[in-house]
Amino acid sequence: MSRNDSLTPTFPEFHTPFGNYLDPNNRWVKKAAMILWRVVEQEYKKHLSDSTTGAPAKEARLAFAALVIKEEHQISDRETVEQIRENPYLQYFVGLEGFQTQAPFDDSMMAYFRARFPEDSLKRIKEAMTLERAKP
């Protein structure tokens, strides 16, 4: 089951602890704008349980973005969570509405995220993004 369909916080309203806003030219802000989050959500939902018991799944954007961060930095699951916890740009990228000092999830969740984005899903996301960029 999915927690909600709200995938993208509005960029100008992302609150930082410093009283100002994020730089729109930051690589993570730009990368967030390039990803087709609706396609990510569709692929994610294919691998969720139909069960109504237990804790709801983390958001698709959070799960996918954490995997992107881990891959791009070539870091461990634990370090991925720590990097997200410390960096407002990464928190924006994973879909949080504002900076928070606590980790948005435990590093053990990374195994679930990987299971919910198998290779075939990643391929479909990449293909959709390639087609979108090719549009005139």
- Please state, for a pLDDT cut of 70, what percent of the chain lies above it: 85
Instruction: Confirm if 102 and 82 have CB atoms less than 8 A apart.
Output: no
pLDDT of residue 7: 56
- With a threshold of 0.85, does the pTM exceed it? no
pLDDT of residue 3: 46
- Comparing 97 with 73, which gets the higher pLDDT? 73
- Quickly count: other Cβ atoms within 10 Å of residue 9's Cβ: 17
What confidence tier does 28 reach under pLDDT thresholds 50, 70, 90? very high
Adjacent-strand bridge partners of 57: 2
